[in-house]
Amino acid sequence: MDEPWEARLFAFLDDLEQQAGATFAAERDQEVAERARAEYARVVLAARLMASVERDVTLTVDGVGPVSGRLRRVADGWCLVVASTGSWIVRLDAVALVRGGAATAVPPEAWPATARLGLGSALRRLTGERCQIHPRRGTPYEARLGRVGADFVEAVVGADPAPVLIAFSGLAAVQQRG
C-alpha cells in the first residue's frame, strides 16, 4: 500500500531540512576556519615568545647566529635569553628564526606590566658592565656600557676613553658574560 500523501510530504520536508542543516554547518565551519586564519594573522612573534618564557629556545639572530638558552623575559622590542655563556639581550626585530617556542601565544593585553619596558631599560641594568656588542652588520666587539638615551647607548670601546654612540637600530644583541 502506498504511503499517504501527508507522510510523503513530511518526509520530503524533513529531507530538505536535513540538507539545509548540512549546508549551514559546512558554511559555518568554513567561516570559523576563515575567522581563525584572520585572527592568527594578527599574532606577532613577541606574543609567541611570551608564551615561551621559561622554555629552552634557540633564536637565530641576524649578525650573531644561533643563541640558545632559557628565555627569561620578553618585553617591548627585546627579549632576554640566559645561556651557560652569559645573558643575551636580543632585539626582536633581529630574530630570524625560533626553535623550541610554545605552540600558543599570549595576547599583549595579558602581558605583565614589565613587558612595556623598552630596550633602554634592559641596557641601563648593564651600565658599567663589560659586554660583547653584536651589531647587525660587522664584527662583535667588547665594550663597557655607559649612559643610555632614548634610542642609543654610550659605550667605551678598547683603550679610548671617549665613548661611542651605538644606535639601537644597529644592534642585534648584547651579551653579558656569565
More confident residue, 160 or 1: 160
Residue 106's pLDDT band, with cuts at 50, 70 and 90, is very high
Domain ranges of the chain: 1-42, 45-177
CA–CA distance, 43 with 110 (Å, rounded to integer)? 13
Residues 110-114, mean pLDDT to the nearest whole number: 92
Residues 43-58, mean pLDDT to the nearest whole number: 95
Whether 90 and 79 have beta carbons less than 8 Å apart is answered as yes
Q: Is the pLDDT of residue 62 over 60?
A: yes
More confident residue, 117 or 177: 117
What is the predicted pLDDT for the residue at 57?
98
What is the predicted pLDDT for the residue at 24?
74
Position of cell 663589560? 130
Residues 113-120, mean pLDDT to the nearest whole number: 94
pLDDT in tens, 11-49: 777 777 887 777 777 777 677 667 756 777 788 999 999
Residues 123-128, mean pLDDT to the nearest whole number: 95
DSSP states of 130-176: EEEEEESSS--EEEEEEEE-SSEEEEE-TT--SPEEEEGGGEEEEEE
Helices (H), 41-162: 45-50, 119-124
Whether 136 and 61 have beta carbons less than 8 Å apart is answered as no
What is the predicted pLDDT for the residue at 36?
57
CATH assignment, 45-177: 2.30.30.600
Predicted structure pTM score? 0.79
Lowest mean pLDDT: which of 2-6, 60-64, 154-158?
2-6
What is the predicted pLDDT for the residue at 1?
56
